[in-house]
């Protein structure tokens, strides 16, 4: 259930950023997502059997998300993605 709340708050944040820039409450609601995602990464680290493989997966996801973000928002070319901050 907490996973769905996390995804919903992230969706609200992205909708507020992209379509409803005049509604800062959407961005405020979306700020709940980051600490929850950090919690899930720590939980995944505790439950994994192979931490090295877990880090490789996170790094692969970070690379994919960076290229996707750069494709949709070219002005973010030199901004590091949020997943890289979690290393």
User: Rounded CA gap, 70 and 67, in Å?
Assistant: 5
- Domain map (residue ranges) of the chain: 1-47, 50-87
pLDDT at 78 over 70: no
**pLDDT level of residue 64 (50, 70, 90 thresholds):** confident
Token pair in block for residue 10:
């992230």
User: Rounded CA gap, 59 and 51, in Å?
Assistant: 12
* Mean pLDDT to the nearest integer, 45-68: 89
Q: Which is more confidently placed, 65 or 33?
A: 33
Task: Quick: pLDDT tens for 15-54.
Answer: 998 899 899 999 999 999 989 989 998 999 999 999 999 9
What's the chain's average pLDDT? 86
Share of the chain above pLDDT 90, in %: 49
User: Rounded CA gap, 9 and 21, in Å?
Assistant: 16
């Amino acid at each position: 259930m907490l996973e769905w709340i996390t995804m919903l708050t992230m969706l609200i944040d992205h909708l507020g950023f992209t379509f409803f820039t005049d509604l800062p409450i959407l961005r405020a609601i979306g700020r709940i997502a980051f600490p929850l995602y950090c919690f899930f990464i720590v939980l995944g680290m505790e439950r994994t059997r192979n931490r090295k493989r877990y880090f490789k997966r996170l790094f692969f996801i970070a690379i994919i998300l960076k290229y996707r973000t750069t494709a949709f928002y070219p002005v973010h070319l030199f901004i590091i993605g949020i997943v890289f901050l979690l290393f």
